[in-house]
Amino acid sequence: MDKALVGMCVNERRFVKIPPKLAYGSEGVSGVIPPNAVLHFDVLLIDLWNSEDEVQIQTYLKPEKCTRTIQVSDFVRYHYNGTFLDGTLFDSSHNRMRTYDTYVGIGWLIPGMDKGLLGMCVGEKRIITIPPSLAYGEEGDGKEIPGQASLVFDVALLDLHNPKDGITIENQQVPESCERKSQTGDFLRYHYNGTLLDGTLFDSSYSRNHTYDTYIGKGYVIAGMDEGLLGVCIGEKKRIIIPPHLGYGEEGRGKIPGSAVLVFDIHVIDFHNPLDSVNITTHYKPSNCTVLSKKGDYLKYHYNASLLDGTLLDSTISLGKTYNIVLGSGQVVLGMDMGLRDMCVGERRTVIIPPHLGYGEAGVEGEVPGSAVLVFDIELLELVSGLPDGYMFVWHGDVSPNLFEEIDKDNNGEVFLEEFSEYIQAQVDSGKGKLAPGFDSAKIVKNMFANQDRNGDGKITAEEFKLKDQEATEGHDEL
């Protein structure tokens, strides 16, 4: 048998015929093998090893890019099929649909696996053959693995990190112009693709067609992302690699397995700070700039509106008409109201408006994203001076001491809306009076009439009629 087994391969089958002189000779084995018996053996070789054998490694797939390999004390996640030399499967992480997660080189694994995993890259696949002396030895594991068994592991490495790792930044693309970098407390909007180290996608803001919006440096996101988003520029793109102790830890979350390294490819769309005010940059101001816009003025202007990343939202130029407002009347967002003040006709400026002075967290559905910083390029084309604060009509000269009688043309002691409207319009047409610009004149007059009609009976009497400066309290927009 010693001679017959030499040169055999695992899973090889031989029929061996042994004459008595090379077997049990003339004596045989009492009660089992008679003397001078020829022995016939049907042999199937299951396993073989040598006491001097070491771990054997056969790599059959290795990524072109391998920036890091497994070192002692690294934590790894890998899939494997475990078989004996004859191909019999004794264990598989694939069947459990869960990776095997462990430290390498510190005794958490059998010695042969500790050695066999060293030097692997993420994405690499190798076959590790381990002799029993570096596996479960003479005793086996007491379950599936018999004593003196050689083990074969087909391993695919999915992930690796070291507990001492910090975040890693790769493929950083910074815009040429970067006037401001993000700081703790800023509110940031960004797109991202989130993958595991093996490339498995677990989340994407692009698929939702909505940026991820969050404060940074305040613990609103995982620690690694909090760190990776500090110091970025608007428009910047980069890859942030986050070890699990700065990600979702041993437990994982949703589609993210426990102890997983996370890879985020991010694109910063915009950011601001809740303490930000409107930022105004003047590009052109006429030399003769004496009349400046103020609250109550009626303005006509052109604008291009965009996001910080350059995405165009709206343009009056493309529509071929100006945008017209009364400054300070709430007809535009507060930031635009602030940005249009102290401006002269012909001036051009850029106004950057943070969301809390723009459209806030909600934005405008289908037009302006929530929490978006807005950029307006503005040119003021026309300015009509408004009235003093609180007035909707003013006189250009002295007021007639017999004002009520002049309005009451039929001298019946009562003024109706039609009489009142005709008189006010006549004063405006003659240049003796002025209505607040930018509003519906009929509505202004109707409002003035209602304020004078104190009992609401649809007519004004001499007792009800008072001028603005005769009012005991403020709050009426009448004469």
| pLDDT tens digits along 403-451 | 888 888 888 988 899 989 999 999 998 888 899 888 888 999 999 899 8
Average pLDDT, the chain: 93
Contact 368, 415 (CB under 8 A): no
Contact 235, 175 (CB under 8 A): yes
Contact 257, 99 (CB under 8 A): yes
Rg over alpha carbons for the chain, rounded to the nearest Å, is: 43
- List, for residues 357-408, the tens digit of each pLDDT value: 999 999 999 899 999 999 999 999 999 998 888 788 888 888 888 888 888 8
Question: What tokens were used for 222?
Answer: 């995982």
Question: Per the residue annotation, which of 47, 198, 203, 477 is the catalytic one?
Answer: 203
Residue 408 burial by CB count (10 A; 0-12/13-18/19+): exposed, middle or buried?
Answer: buried
Where residue 475 falls among pLDDT bands split at 50, 70, 90? very low
Amino acid, single-letter form, for residue 379:
E
Query: Is the predicted pLDDT of residue 104 greater than 90, yes or no?
Result: yes
Residue 63 burial by CB count (10 A; 0-12/13-18/19+): exposed, middle or buried?
Answer: middle
Question: Per the residue annotation, which of 78, 153, 192, 359 is the catalytic one?
Answer: 192
Residue 248 is a catalytic residue: yes
Q: How far apart are CA 468 and CA 213, in angstroms?
A: 50
Tokens 């009992």 locate to: 455
Q: How far apart are CA 402 and CA 1, in angstroms?
A: 139
Residue 354 burial by CB count (10 A; 0-12/13-18/19+): exposed, middle or buried?
Answer: buried
Q: How far apart are CA 458 and CA 466, in angstroms?
A: 16
Q: How far apart are CA 203 and CA 200, in angstroms?
A: 9
Residue 439 is a catalytic residue: no
Residue 264 is a catalytic residue: yes
Residue 222 is a catalytic residue: yes
Q: How far apart are CA 243 and CA 258, in angstroms?
A: 11
Tally the residues of the chain.
Answer: 479
Question: Per the residue annotation, which of 90, 202, 416, 423 is the catalytic one?
Answer: 202
Of 283, 277, 260, 145, the C-alpha closest to 202 is 260
Q: Is the pTM of this model over 0.75?
A: yes
Contact 216, 229 (CB under 8 A): yes
Tokens 């109707």 locate to: 446
In the prediction, which pLDDT does 410 show? Answer: 87
Of 132, 42, 142, 127, the C-alpha closest to 87 is 127
Terminal Cα distance for the chain, rounded: 125
- List, for residues 240-269, the tens digit of each pLDDT value: 999 999 999 999 999 999 999 999 999 999
Question: Per the residue annotation, which of 78, 80, 264, 303 is the catalytic one?
Answer: 264
Question: Per the residue annotation, which of 130, 167, 216, 222 is the catalytic one?
Answer: 222
Question: Per the residue annotation, which of 248, 271, 298, 449 is the catalytic one?
Answer: 248
The values of phi and psi at residue 226, to 5°, are -55, -45
